[in-house]
Amino acid sequence: MKISHCRLLKKIQLRLLKLFVLEVTARSAADILGIQPNGAALFYRKIREVTAYHLEQESHEIFDDVVELGESYFGGVRKGKRGRGAAGKVAVFGILKRGGKVYTKVVGDTKSETLMPLITRKIAPDSIVYTDCYRSYNALDVSHFYHERINHSTLFAQGKNHINVLNAPAPRGEVSEL
């Protein structure tokens, strides 16, 4: 899939694409380039559609070898509890292939019943799976994976064994599925 039926000049399209990657709003990009705001907004929407299409094509890829699993919680600043169980936060589950791609999915909860179907669908049997000690990952101990745990209470890394990559924000330009 590619962007088609666009009346903007190729030079303007390329500049809009650069501004999109730099996270400039469509309205601001239109002001910078001297084009109509609706034209910039339409082009931004087409970029998102093409990106979603290509991510969907890649989402069927199976991860193998060494992978990390983790969950993070996103949302505005809230009073009270932080991390797991915080009110008003959105849980995002992630699978990272070491030296490769990241698969992320917004999940309603982080219970084992929710995560295990995703894990078994996306990770090949006999893969090495690194997790923290969260109880939802207990099912991995009796599954077809070699399961390694990192106890964050005592240490965050043990040689090559670490799982904090999923808790860090993705670098600019890196794309993952949401």
- Give 169: exposed, middle or buried? Use CB within 10 Å, 0-12, 13-18, 19+: exposed
pLDDT band at 78 (very low <50, low <70, confident <90, very high): low
Determine the pLDDT at residue 141: 84
Average pLDDT estimate for 112-141: 90
Determine the pLDDT at residue 172: 39
How far is it, in rounded angstroms, from Cα 96 to Cα 109?
A: 19
50 bridge partner residues: none
Average pLDDT estimate for 96-108: 85
Pure H helices in the chain = 10-21, 26-33, 37-58, 112-122
pLDDT at residue 55 tops 90:
no
pLDDT band at 174 (very low <50, low <70, confident <90, very high): very low
Query: Model pTM?
Result: 0.62
| Dihedral (CA of 48, 170, 164, 67) sign | positive
Determine the pLDDT at residue 105: 85
pLDDT at residue 34 tops 90:
yes
How far is it, in rounded angstroms, from Cα 56 to Cα 67?
A: 20
Determine the pLDDT at residue 156: 55
The chain-wide mean pLDDT, for the chain, equals 81
Which residues lie closer than 8 Å to 129 by C-beta, 6 or more apart?
A: 67, 68, 69, 119, 123, 140, 145, 146, 147, 148
pLDDT at residue 8 tops 50:
yes
Left if phi > 0, otherwise alpha if psi is -120 to 50, otherwise beta: which for 163?
A: alpha
